[in-house]
Amino acid sequence: MNGFAFAYDILAKIYKEDAFSSIELNKRVVGASNQAVVTRLVYGVLQKDTELEYYISKFTQKRPNKSVAVLLKEAMYCLLYMDSFPDYAVVDESVELCRKIGKRQLKGFVNGVLKNFIVAGKKAELPKDKDERLSVTASVPLWLVRAYIRQYGFDKTQEFLSVEEFTKEHIRNNSRVWTTAQLKSALDEKNISYAQSSAGGFFVDNSTYIKELSAQGKITYQSMTSMLAVQALEVKDGEKLLDLCAAPGGKSIYASELADIEITSCDIYEHRLELIKAYVERMKAKSVNVMLNDATQYNDAFYCSFDKVLCDVPCSGLGVAGKKPDIYLRSSMQKVLELSEVQYKILSNASKYVKPQGRLVYSTCTTLREENYNVVGKFVKDNQSWRVLRHENFLPDGKGCDGFFIAVLERK
């Protein structure tokens, strides 16, 4: 079966060695003849991980070791969602792969589990508890489903966890070299359909032409919510902006196009600073100074030096798990709470860098209040010289909006 064994190798790296799906796919699959199939298998299994875990628990008396569990997940995904793979071929390929990965003694086990799964109509009775049932049907970890229900209520949680996957890319023109009208004209000329977003960018199907425009620096890929976070700064000519957690640099570069400002873009790692520099060069950006800085450590040189500060803080990324499904594999409430402490520290440091009556924008790409409302709420409670001008929580809508949070704060 085309790509089955190849996809298994990548999935095993992700599940067993904590590799990142995007990195593994880019490193091993790009340009391969079976790239599309392998990519679909890898992302498909990750997106349906919770559902597939449930089926394994229902069709085995004892959970198999990790290698065989990964194999069963891939096989069950094929049986459920890959009509181009005949059932018998999936079973035969899985049994043969079981031998190749050194689990010859479990060939009969794998064969029996998959055949029982097929006989049962590729389904199992869903949990009676509605929280658990939603966890399976939406394929989202139960701890997270329950956290969402506490925050949003069951109906709202079910609504945004059940939206269809959105596959279009969000792009914007580089206003230094190309106007919005020129981008529209170019898309029309190539018969590429597009829809304009509320941020002013465009949703398009990715293609060779779009990639070429990006390589030429005429456009860039940037999410709608990322653009909105920058717009919330309301930068003005002559101002100084600090982007504390800037890599790979998209927000800094966009801000540099909105006004004639001086920007300091920081990150904690040297290799991530190189990403910002490359972005600056590709987009022909000006007045972007790249600097190594640990946002969790107070920097006295920044004290009261900036009119605007952007804190797009490290977060769990749960708002974009639809695009990066291995996020669920690495998430837990304990990790979320640990992140919230880091976020509070960064926000507290950032506030000291803002001039009186200056503006600070705090943003995340997560949907949990523990990283959003709670962090900002604690900060303004502890710092009476600050107030929240506005805040907005975005939920995935299946139409191009990611899960995102933006809070605009002002120093009195």
Q: What is the 3-state secondary structure (H, E, C) of 335-357?
A: HHHHHHHHHHHHHHHHHCCEEEE
Look up 365 and say whether it is catalytic: yes
Phi, psi dihedral angles at 242 (to 5 degrees): -110, 120
170, amino acid identity: H
Token readout for 272 is 């991530």
Longest Cα–Cα distance of the chain, Å, equals: 71
Cα 210 to Cα 200, 218, 283, 286, distances in angstroms: 17, 10, 15, 24
Token readout for 236 is 């003005």
Contacts of 5 (CB under 8 A, 6+ apart): 93, 97, 100
- What is the DSSP code (8-state) at residue 370? G
Catalytic: which of 78, 245, 266, 365?
Answer: 365
Contacts of 231 (CB under 8 A, 6+ apart): 199, 258
Give the residue numbers annotated as catalytic, written as ranges.
365
